[in-house]
Amino acid sequence: MKINNTEIKIIKGDITDVAAEAIVNPAHYTLRMESGLAKVFKDKGGEVIETEAVSKGPLKPGNVVFTTAGKLSARYVIHAVTMGENNKVDEHAVRFACRNALHTADELGVDSVAFPALGYGKEIFPAKASAKIMAQEILRFARDGQPRIREIVLCLFDKETFDVFDRNISGYLDYIINKLKSPFLTVDAIIEISGGLVLIERSNPPFGFALPGGFVDYGESLEEAVIREAKEETGLDLLELKQFHTYSDPERDPRFHTVTTVFTARAQGRPQAGDDAASVKVVPWEEAECLEFAFNHKDVLADYLRFREGKDPF
């Protein structure tokens, strides 16, 4: 597939054999190359790669450095730190490692760069989440700027991981690319039932708790969309639906520019997780303030609480 002048390829194979000018190493924060794909890079390219990398570290997760590629066919190895202390990987590290690696490759003036599945590891970070985050960052990079890179290769070593990336990246980018180049329209719902506030815990990045909601389909009203999304994610039927406010800050969503209209509602039924929700919870208002939220939903709830108290939240 192609985004502006940049071609995106998804292949199965050994990344050290890919004909790319730069290849990306999913690095440990120490930049030592003692295990996993990093060790493959060192074994094939020589210890000079690790020696140069370590001299530039340690780094915080999400940061990158580049080195020469030793005996590898590439010109550069870009070391993108995805793993921090205690061998932890999170979505923020993967997102910024991918973003910074793309910009570093562009600054190096290369025509092509190859990536593995950043952050992915069984019991460490899921392949599906890695694929979606990388798709979001590649889209942002290729569509919103004027990169010199003409080819981005996603190289997956085994068929299982390849299938996950092929399915999630190809479908995801095809869906996004074919939409108009304007902010994406979404809806969210502040749903109150007996016991508190209905929240979902997201199963896709960005992770965290969130108000039920999602994208508005073509030909669908905002009201129809929020009723549908609430039903899909929570199993609830909305009552007393009212528009609260529209939020349009371009930075409110880390994936891309989305504009959301937030509704308030009461509901009937028993909450049950579905669609993109890992779980659905009814949370007392005082507990909601202590949760980690996706998007700008913590600010949205703060605005709503001021509104309930008779204050002007805007």
The pair of structure tokens assigned to 312 is: 């002007």
Backbone angles phi, psi at 113, to 5 degrees: -145, 140
Given a contact cutoff of 8 angstroms between Cβ atoms, the answer to whether 56 and 32 are in contact is no
Q: Give pLDDT, residue 276.
A: 67
3-class SS at 1?
coil
Given a contact cutoff of 8 angstroms between Cβ atoms, the answer to whether 244 and 299 are in contact is no
Q: Give pLDDT, residue 75.
A: 97
Q: Give pLDDT, residue 176.
A: 76
Ordered structural domains, the chain, with CATH: 2-177 (3.40.220.10), 184-308 (3.90.79.10)
81: pLDDT strictly greater than 80:
yes
Q: How far apart are CA 190 and CA 241, in angstroms?
A: 10
The label of the residue with tokens 């994610």 reads 233
167-185 tens-digit pLDDT: 998 888 887 777 656 889 9
Q: What is the CA radius of gyration of the chain?
A: 22
The pair of structure tokens assigned to 295 is: 């998007």
Q: Give pLDDT, residue 179.
A: 64
Percent of the chain with pLDDT over 70: 98
218: pLDDT strictly greater than 60:
yes
Q: Give pLDDT, residue 121.
A: 85
The pair of structure tokens assigned to 162 is: 């390849």
138-168 tens-digit pLDDT: 998 998 778 999 999 999 999 999 999 999 9
Spatial CA neighbour of 202 closest among 263, 269, 137, 128: 128
Backbone angles phi, psi at 24, to 5 degrees: -105, 130
Q: How far apart are CA 290 and CA 275, in angstroms?
A: 25
pTM (predicted TM-score): 0.78
Q: Is 179 exposed, middle or buried (0-12, 13-18, 19+ CB in 10 A)?
A: exposed
Q: Give pLDDT, residue 175.
A: 76
The label of the residue with tokens 């010199």 reads 148
Q: What's the start-to-end Cα distance of the chain, in Å?
A: 43
Task: Provide the phi-psi class of 295: left if phi over 0, else alpha when psi is between -120 and 50, else beta.
Answer: left
The pair of structure tokens assigned to 11 is: 């292949």
Helices (H), 166-259: 171-177, 222-234
- Average model confidence (pLDDT) for the chain? 93
What are the respective helix, strand and coil percentages of the chain, to the nearest 5? 35, 30, 35
234-290 tens-digit pLDDT: 999 999 999 999 999 999 999 889 999 999 999 988 888 876 668 999 999 999 989
Q: Which residues contact 219 (CB under 8 A, 6 or more apart)?
A: none
Spatial CA neighbour of 159 closest among 9, 10, 16, 7: 10
Query: What average pLDDT score do residues 213-217 get?
Result: 94
190-202 tens-digit pLDDT: 999 987 999 999 9
21-77 tens-digit pLDDT: 999 999 999 999 999 999 999 999 999 999 999 999 899 999 999 999 999 999 999
